[in-house]
Amino acid sequence: MSQTFSREFRVTLHDTDAAGVLFSSHLLRHAHDAWEELMAEIGFPLHQLIHSAALHLPLVHLEADYHLPMRHGDLLRMLLRVKRIGNQSLTIEVDFFHQDGTLAAHAETVHVALNPSSGSPCPLPAPLRQALSHYRITL
């Protein structure tokens, strides 16, 4: 059964630019923050992985589509799901919804598993695969 992971944020002054809307790259900060919260919730906080040199999960690809303006003061809901769990990589997707339920934006990030010592790709640990699988999209 598929679970979603949901977080809200309000667009702050810092998020916006002189054109009056959220500046594109800030959306990806919010998406990354949500991913960090998911990883903490399932027992693999990124700061522990990095600090203990247990596993690195660098972002190797990202993409985003901006459908509607996000303005200062808007409340956005992020729905985060695991799109793909590969042998050595995973894909996270985040939908950003306005309060009226319209889709404001969509982002995807691909993370590859690296052995911090060797710097080489390595398999995703089984417990992490298992934990992530609860958030996998099932069609």
Binding site for a second copy (CB under 8 A): 10-14, 16-21, 23-26, 28-29, 32-33, 36-37, 40, 45-48, 50-51, 56, 58-67, 69, 71-73, 109
Nearest residue (CB) to a second copy, 59 versus 103: 59
Within 2-115, strands assigned E span 5-10, 59-66, 75-85, 89-97, 103-112
* Rounded least distance, CB 123 to a second copy, Å: 20
Q: Report the first-to-last Cα separation within the chain, whole angstroms.
A: 10
Ordered alpha helix ranges (H), the chain: 24-41, 46-51, 126-133
| Residue 104 beta carbon to a second copy: minimum distance, rounded to whole angstroms | 12
CA 21 to CA 69: how far, in whole Å?
6
For a second copy, the closer of residues 24 and 133 by Cβ is: 24
Beta carbon of residue 51, minimum distance to a second copy (angstroms, whole number): 7
Q: 126: Cβ–Cβ under 8 A, 6 or more apart, which residues?
A: none
* Residue 69 Cβ vs a second copy, minimum distance, rounded to whole Å: 8
